[in-house]
Amino acid sequence: MKQTALLLALSASLLLGACGGDSSLPVATGKASITAVNAIYGSPALNFLIEERSLAAVPYKGTMPAASYDDLDYAFSFEVLIAGDTEVTRIASQNIDFIAGQHYTLLASGTLAAPTLTLWEIAERTFVDTETVFQARFAHTSDSMGAIDVYFGLDGVAPVLGEQVATLAFGEISAPLDFETDEYAVTITTAGDDTDILYQSSASRILERTDLIIAPFDGDENDTSPIVVRALNTGGGAATFLDPNFPSTIEFLHGSYDLGSSDVYDDEALTSQLLSDHTFRQLTPATDIADGEYEFFYTPSDDTSVVSLQSTFIATNGAHFRIIATGTGGTYSTINMGLNRRSLSTAAKLNFLSTSSNFDFLSLYIVTADGTIENTLPFQAGIVSGQANAPYQMLPGSFDVYLTQFGDTEIIAGPFRIDVALGDVLDMVVYDKLDGDTGFVDIEVLPVPGMAPPL
């Protein structure tokens, strides 16, 4: 009996010792934060994860809001979904042992097939409400550029060797610097040569109490400039420093079957003519346009007594825009849209716009070549006419396109054959029939600059 009592007492003592003794688990003493930057040209938005939990989708030339966690050890990863795959592909991972009070930035660069991860670390910056400065670090994230010198100053920056704020190789980042809030410009030259200017921006205002990484990226098909410099802040925002040497472009598309042939002016007095005899389904060549606000006035060709359509448009330097005239029966408007031409290495991309006045809602079917839509769900249902849509991603292959009215299976257009490969961008537009036939519409794929015409 005494022996049993003694054994029980010893067991209880051991149990208490195990519960109350030192634990082998790590103990957090504070917080650290992390962001990610995507510099992989041609990539879709990268899914960024901590352990196995998604944090954000990080777009090319973009970042994400800083996320804060205990100062422990974590595995971070990037994933993408490739068209046709049923599961995501993990392209890269890295462990980071957080130190309290530090801010980490994980840069993804290279290619999706062979990515490189670069880790930048800095003490977290906390501003007080009375501060009028911002903090900036300068990084090199343009894969096409060699070593660079970066100049940063008020209004405009004439580079003078020795006055650069940073000299950087790809993947490097400078120490932080404080600047008073104001309008600043960025100039980039080849390292050691202030006469070889690679990029020179106009001035942009930067707000106080922001924490920025200012970095060049390789421009893509959505940019008019081969290099784009962006200011990435820890809140997840990204602003572009505009290069006036590479203005925006604008093109006009006539999408109204009864508006008639039109002249287009950019002044209310109708003395500054941009287009003459702009006809139904005509797409004009792209022309340069300075940034700013514009008013466009449509009149019947050779008749300035009537303004058929008036449109307000704002151009942002360095992008491509299209103005589309739509409507019928004397009620006309324009769709003013930025063009999304960026090619993806993981999918084909379809830009789809309906200008139809006869069908407010459409269903889009994309089926294997020579297939039918019978017992097939739409590729996209309820597409609103007159409204720009986000691009749709597609598998490569040969397909037939059909259109129906939303909620109906009666075909109003198609089959329309398309042949697409990974990286292709298709620009598809739907028009009413020229003769006003309310039962059918036409499909057209417009040429995308820099790409082969659709087959």
Distance CA 214, CA 241 (A): 9
Q: Could you tell me if residue 10 is inside a domain?
A: no
Position 452 scores a pLDDT of 46
Which of 245, 275, 290 delimits the end of a domain?
245
Per-residue pLDDT tens over the stretch 232-288: 999 999 999 999 999 999 999 999 999 999 999 999 999 999 999 999 999 999 999
**Residue 23: inside a domain, yes or no?**
no
In this model, does residue 55 exceed pLDDT 70? yes
Q: Which residues of 149-187 are buried (b: 16+ CB within 10 A; e: fewer)?
A: bbbbbeeebebeeeebbbbbebbbbbeeeebeeeebbbb
The pLDDT value given to residue 23:
54
**What pLDDT is stored for residue 434 in this prediction?**
82
In this structure, the answer to whether residues 158 and 238 fall within a common structural domain is yes
Are residues 316 and 398 located together in one domain of the fold?
no
Residue ending a domain, choose from 90, 124, 158: 124
Structural domains of the chain, count: 4
First-last CA distance in the chain: 94
Are 235 and 149 in the same domain?
Answer: yes
pLDDT tens digits along 415-449: 999 999 999 999 999 999 987 677 899 999 998 88
Count of alpha carbons within 13 angstroms of residue 395, beta-carbon side: 12
Per the prediction, the chain carries an average pLDDT of 92
**Would you place residue 84 in the very low, low, confident or very high pLDDT band (cuts 50, 70, 90)?**
confident
- Residue 14 is predicted with a pLDDT of 39
Is pLDDT of 450 > 80? no
Q: How far apart (Å, rounded) are the C-alpha atoms in residues 342 and 221? A: 5
Domain boundary among 99, 124, 149: 124
- Domain with residue 220: its CATH number is 2.60.40
Q: Which of 354, 305, 286 is nearest to 326 (CA)?
A: 354
Report how far residue 412's alpha carbon sits from residue 410's, in angstroms, rounded to the nearest whole number: 6
437 and 348 within one domain = yes
Domain span at 191? 128-245
- Amino acid identity of residue 179, one-letter, is F
Reference 429, options 450, 401, 408, 452; nearest CA is: 401
Read off the pLDDT band of 22 (50, 70, 90).
low
Has residue 430 been placed in a domain?
Answer: yes
117 lies in the same domain as 46: yes
Residues 71 and 28: beta-carbon distance below 8 Å: yes
